[in-house]
Amino acid sequence: MALTPSIAKADVLVYDNNNQYLGILIEMWGDEMDLFVPSLGGVLKFSYDYSGWCGDEISVVFASDNCTGTPYERDPNPIILDFSPISLEGFYKVDYNGKQTFTPGSYYDWNCDCQSDPGEPNAEYYPFVQVQMPFTTPVALPLRFKVRTKTVVVPLSE
User: Which sequence spans correspond to the domains of the chain?
Assistant: 17-142
**Residues sharing a CB contact under 8 Å with residue 72, sequence separation 6 or more, in sequence order:** 60, 61, 62, 63, 100, 104, 125, 126, 127, 128
pLDDT band at 60 (very low <50, low <70, confident <90, very high): confident
What letter represents residue 38's amino acid? Answer: P
Identify whether the C-beta of residue 59 lies closer than 8 Å to the C-beta of residue 74: yes
Average pLDDT for the chain: 85
- Residue 3 reports pLDDT greater than 60: no
Asked if the model's pLDDT at residue 118 lies above 70, the reply is no
Query: Can you list the positions of beta strands (E) in the chain?
Result: 6-15, 21-29, 32-37, 42-47, 60-62, 71-73, 79-82, 91-94, 100-102, 106-108, 114-116, 123-131, 144-153
What per-residue confidence (pLDDT) applies to 35? 94
Looking at residue 24, what is its pLDDT? Answer: 96
Q: State the CB neighbour count (10 A cutoff) for residue 155.
A: 9
Strand-pair partners of 36: 24, 43
More confident residue, 151 or 125: 125
CB 33 within 8 A of CB 24: no
| Least reliable range by pLDDT among 10-19, 38-47, 112-121 | 112-121
Residue 51 has pLDDT above 80, yes or no: no
In tens, the pLDDT along 95-115 reads 999 999 999 999 888 788 889
Contact 93, 128 (CB under 8 A): yes
Whether this model's pTM surpasses 0.85: no
